[in-house]
Structure 1
């Protein structure tokens, strides 16, 4: 039974026995997620969901509690997991996995933080639990996409990774583990992802509910609540996705986003930036731009985004911003950039086109080709381009660090960001994870004040 092998995996994985590449990936993911969460705290979505967690999921007297990420206030562990997942998800710069068409980390890290508040674990155990949660979530996501007829949000499958982390740290037995992931699957938000893409709002990718559902499922299973077997783990048609668990690591296929937008738009941004830099193209010389890509990318069709959510789920707008600015930073999809007349004018001249030969490669490969037509009749065409950051075209450690600092420095201060980064990079040698928790779960102002003080 796949559940038995999954249980042995979650209960028996030891950090020191992990391949070096898995250890390194756990640290890369942790740093990237933390930077994304810091940036996310500045969004209206995050502020709203954190206040909601305090109001609706407050911990009663004597009940378990956990601090909210970069907030410091306490809620129940399920409330803290919800707020953390939505905060990371609010800033569309977090890691993902190609074959899941979604994101594991934005649920498994908040779930791990919520559980670790009440259990004093070592830094190595924290990283091992993070890797385990990712691996279970990713395989559940691959299984679901191979068998389910609809494209569901990530929360529908990353909830199993959150439940697995709690089961590991709470040392649930195999029977309770089986019920926990069954409950997590059943209650996971099987909401339609394309609705959120075509009508972008604060609903995002369901990962906050995945984190909350996973922790709640583990609590219920611990208390004897029963759940149906998780079909994405135990179904006869998904056995092949679990046979090599513990031997091969799907976790190593993670991608990291260089830009804070939907992954489906990133190849298009990359293609136009390559052309702009190679030919020194000035925005005022551009007549219009054609983007050949896959159908799901073309459906990112928010032409005049009024919110960051709409800009993150747009293809024309970030392409236009990149052409105008010569780069694409977090500030280019928010605030004043949303009403920048030069970007909006360029935005109206971006023409996405579905190309069947490119579309048939999706989701395993997400590619785009750009053609920039100048006003003098010159045409520049890019090669077929993939987004940087895929496993086959990874960002370097220096690029991951630079991305983290671009998100964190202005909010928690350069010295505070550097200290937090150092804490993450040396976490596997820490006897206790308390030092990290006190940084990641403190208000953002406390980070800057602690260093300045």
Structure 2
């Protein structure tokens, strides 16, 4: 064995490239387009985090952070977002990521088959508490670093193991990268942080959650907690074995384009708080209804063909928000009836909506080999609607909206943020947060302009409390 490896000193040229990118990329290394993309993903994630705050999973996560993840020193303490109680930075990130993860409307990246911002954004929000002078550009640069590292770690993991693991298994490395940059770790500490984060990252099986949807969701709460804990452990001198998803020879190709090819602008934004696997079917149904002016009473039968994983989604009338978010037929039925899918449709009375239950009985879902062959790079479906007057309408192949293949506009992203955040915070506070996040791209911007708005509970700054 190489003695330098035993001491934890970097020897891998791949790691050297990663360390240079994470720890020493100057602000001007990140293009305006990449930083703009980061600000939009930040805004989108924040909207989902706000909307998820009053939901049961978010309340449990925050209360649990107080019970289990308190902080013995101000150095690594942070307030939980839209709550105000003080816990450790790992606890604050855990709470925000778990909260956000349980409202499935946040961004994702197809090659990873999972989600990055749900863990990276909460990590930044927790770490920013001890960075009062953090500039807006540097905050966005840290987000980009987290996305670029987590994305490649996720691709590397999927390429080298047989199980389909949740996002927490690899977005923990993106969180460790964000923390290493903001805490100013050195190369050896970064290497240890990656090793610790990978070793302790939740290698939970995604398909177990699909089969039985619960608040475990995509494992990102634990991913965020592990990533931040790994960075603090490494800073204190705790050694971690080199991360296989970074340094194994067979994954070197996934890191070769770091800093040249940007994954940040390729994230998708979800129009609906539903598992992305269902979106192509929802969009195809939406398109047919809009194109032909269909009303619910015009629908006789709906046949959905999509890829294998989409066909495994929950197919009955959900009795929990978790099941509703991992549904396909329910989501399609909701779209037919209401022309949109929002928080009220997947929670509360929406789970007891008799009209949706009746429409759901008209929806049939099947797997299509051609759609399965295009996963995970694409999420495709085609839908046929038989109308009550005897017409057969065919959508053709439709790709889910929100990513580079079928983008939605910046105005749509902003509108989505306001739709999710304003009912909880009120229009004024939601708009102020919107403006602060989008303003982070300015050369004179300070993160403190945003932080003054995001830690106090709803209603505390004069807005509406849910």
- Tell me which interval the TM-score lies in, with the shorter structure as reference length: over 0.9
| Structure 1 residue 81 displacement after superposition | 0.7
Alignment match, 2:455? 441
Q: Deviations over 1:212-238 (max 9, x none)?
A: 000000111111111111111101111
- CA distance, structure 1, for counterparts of residue 464 and residue 408 of structure 2: 31
Q: Deviations over 1:193-225 (max 9, x none)?
A: 111111000001010101100000011111111
- CA distance, structure 1, for counterparts of residue 27 and residue 383 of structure 2: 44
RMSD of equivalent CA atoms: 1.4
- CA distance, structure 2, for counterparts of residue 104 and residue 213 of structure 1: 14
| Contact 1:105/1:134 (8 A) holds in 2 | yes
| Structure 1 residue 145 displacement after superposition | 0.9
Alignment match, 1:5? 17
Pairs within 5 Å for 1:101-116: 101-116=113-128
| Contact 2:437/2:450 (8 A) holds in 1 | yes
- CA distance, structure 2, for counterparts of residue 182 and residue 444 of structure 1: 38
- Is 1:337 matched up with 2:337? no
Q: Deviations over 1:231-287 (max 9, x none)?
A: 111011111110111111122211100111000001100001111111111212222
- CA distance, structure 2, for counterparts of residue 431 and residue 294 of structure 1: 44
- CA distance, structure 2, for counterparts of residue 298 and residue 364 of structure 1: 17
- Is 1:84 matched up with 2:88? no
SS at match of 2:319: coil
Say which of 400, 408, 423 aligns to 1:387: 400
- Is 1:415 matched up with 2:428? yes
Alignment match, 1:346? 359
Unpaired stretches in structure 1, ≥5 consecutive residues = none
Alignment match, 2:384? 371
- CA distance, structure 1, for counterparts of residue 105 and residue 396 of structure 2: 25
| Structure 1 residue 435 displacement after superposition | 2.2
Say which of 37, 60, 78 aligns to 2:49: 37
| Contact 1:15/1:127 (8 A) holds in 2 | no
CA gap 1:326/1:432 in 2 versus in 1, 3 angstroms: closer
Unpaired stretches in structure 2, ≥5 consecutive residues = 1-12
| Contact 1:413/1:447 (8 A) holds in 2 | no
SS at match of 1:437: helix
Pairs within 5 Å for 1:82-231: 82-120=94-132, 121-231=134-244
| Structure 1 residue 38 displacement after superposition | 0.5
| Structure 1 residue 393 displacement after superposition | 1.7
| Structure 1 residue 428 displacement after superposition | 3.1
| Structure 1 residue 123 displacement after superposition | 1.2
- CA distance, structure 1, for counterparts of residue 365 and residue 199 of structure 2: 38
Alignment match, 1:400? 413
SS at match of 2:407: coil
- CA distance, structure 2, for counterparts of residue 146 and residue 355 of structure 1: 23
Query: Could you tell me the TM-score, scaled by structure 2's length?
Result: 0.94
- CA distance, structure 1, for counterparts of residue 441 and residue 27 of structure 2: 8
